[in-house]
Amino acid sequence: MAYVMCESVLTDYYKAVWNGLDIELVTVIDNDNLKQYMQKKIQSQHDLYGNLNDNVQNITIGDWEVEYTDDVDGGFLYLKLPVDINKAVGGYSEITEFLIRNINGNLVIVDWYTGAKDSYDFLVRGENQTIDNPNIWNDSEWAKMLNNRQIEFSGSTR
């Protein structure tokens, strides 16, 4: 179920960035800091790529990995998804990592990172991040620092 959710949200994400379609994050992300970060990320990426008239047709996920970690909050899943983004003309590939928790009987994304060189997350959150802390977005100081980086990033030219 976590894989299906991530595949669906990735499809919506790439279509929001490239095609300008709406994406509904409320049902898949429970943390306001992560939702805010993702909304700014999508807007920034759409501003950069959305007017290229090279719409995403679909995505394909290659050999993916999953790992379960038990913790005091009931455990979480780590998913590593190699994604091929198929566009009207050509495409590209990148790897996206997710942390998924079961919160009140619902699977939700508690972290989302795409670390491709020069990707938004790579440039804003930092390169070679280890995605293993399902509570990272609960750290208000860390989230505030990332928000400031997003503001700086949106004001700069790539």
- Find the CATH number of the domain harbouring 89: 3.10.450
Count the domains in the chain.
1
- Return the pLDDT at 14: 96
- Please identify every stretch of the chain with a pLDDT value under 70, giving residue numbers as ranges: 155-158
Position 115 in a domain: yes
Q: What is the Cα–Cα distance from 1 to 107, expressed in whole angstroms? A: 8
Domain that holds residue 139: 2-152
Position 157 in a domain: no
- Return the pLDDT at 156: 63
Beta 56-61 vs 76-87: how paired, if at all?
A: antiparallel
- Return the pLDDT at 33: 96
- Return the pLDDT at 38: 96
pTM: predicted TM-score of the whole model, two decimal places: 0.93
Can you spell out the DSSP letters for 82-99? EEEEEESS-EEEEEEEEE
Position 48 in a domain: yes
